[in-house]
Amino acid sequence: MTILIVCDVLGEENNGTTIAAMNLIRFLKERGHIVRILCADQEKRSKENVFVVPTLNVGKVLNAYVAKVGVTIARADEEVVRQALNGVEYVHIMLPFSLGMKVTQLAREMDLPISAGFHMQAQNFTSYIKLNKIGFINRGVYKFIYRHVYQYVDAIHFPTAFIQDVFEQNVKHKTNGYVISNGVHSYVQRREQAKPAEFQDKIVILTTGRYSREKSQDTLIKAVKYSKYQKSIQLILGGQGVKETYYRKLSKSLPIKPIFRFYSREEMIDVLNYADMYVHPAEAELEGISCLEAIVCGKLTIVSDSKNAATRGFAIDDKCVFKNRNPKSLARVIDYWIEHPEQRRQYEQKYLDRAVTYAQDTCMMQMETMMLEVAHAKRKA
């Protein structure tokens, strides 16, 4: 098939949505499909089968942040959208923003089969304006994107059953959803990786992800302050984001200076493999690929019990769970695992045994199957 992948957000592969989009694009090409990309990444203008719309102006502050994290946000241009749609047999929309909305409208007019991914939790938006605790505002976000995109598509790709349930409960509608993990690439795997010399006598605790309110890295920083072993803990926060200045200030009193750094995908797998444990403190998470990568590497993984995070379902048992946004609770869990190294090794194997579930090739095959089923059903209708 000739498939159009619509990317409201695209750029460097340093965020979950872009990584998911590029993984899907590469896989579909390998399977012999002709794949077109519709996005606002101006650097892709000269590439074959890429249609580029203007960049959306989201204001001075957000424009600066978007540029810093290496992504572009699309502004729908109807002429370019129609060019991209001309001759395609299938449309997949990554996000329900301006470009996704316009493509949904025009693709429906052309009676094309359409699927849409669900890669945006309401709190990803409302946390920026400090309204993520207000239920009716989060519900309003879900109802808005349902009204403008998801009610019209032939299938919805949900990375987890958790986010499908959240969305359906908020919009009060059953959806035509497919639950398919975005998966973990085969290069992510457990391997022997010696700690750098400067960390040999340290307990290395890793967390990764965008520095933002809903990712809750501040809870982990505070937890280290409460740990009995704070003088031995080397905290690594892999990522970047708007909260970095605040996090650096918050961590100044720690005995060992944390590392704040954005790592390449290959570098991150090295860090994962030499870290002693991985903590995912997010209070809102619709899947959590970085958490899945830790599991695939057989890492002792500690997660929040937040009702808004799919990652709580990844824990082996309650020994790997702490109370959401409670640094003292997290400190107790961390200290327990520092004090029980033999049991930690047993749990690492338990996590590793789960890894096969998240193999990316298997997940991408399921995505292709979804698309073929939707296209077939549309032809029969």
Per-residue pLDDT of 258-287, as tens digits, reads 999 999 888 999 999 999 999 999 999 999
Residue 128: pLDDT band with limits 50, 70, 90: low
Nearest to 31 by CA among 360, 376, 375, 368: 368
What CATH number does domain 2-183+359-380 carry, 3.90.740.10, 3.40.50.2000, 3.40.50.150, 3.40.50.2300?
3.40.50.2000
Domains of the chain, by residue range, sit at 2-183+359-380, 197-358
Tell me, yes or no, if the two domains 2-183+359-380 and 197-358 fold the same way. Answer: yes
Per-residue model confidence (pLDDT) at position 68: 61
How confident is the model over 294-303, as a mean pLDDT? 96
Per-residue pLDDT of 149-183, as tens digits, reads 999 999 999 999 999 999 999 999 999 999 999 99
**Mean pLDDT across the chain, nearest whole number?**
93
In the chain, pLDDT over 90 holds for what percent of residues?
78
Per-residue pLDDT of 356-375, as tens digits, reads 788 899 999 999 999 999 99
Per-residue model confidence (pLDDT) at position 124: 77
Asked if 374 and 154 count as a contact pair (C-beta separation under 8 A), the reply is: yes
Looking at domain 197-358, what is its CATH homologous superfamily?
Glycogen Phosphorylase B; (3.40.50.2000)
pTM: 0.87
Long-range contacts of residues 43-46, Cβ cutoff 8 Å, at least 24 apart = 44/10
Per-residue pLDDT of 80-126, as tens digits, reads 999 999 999 999 999 999 999 999 999 999 999 999 999 988 887 77
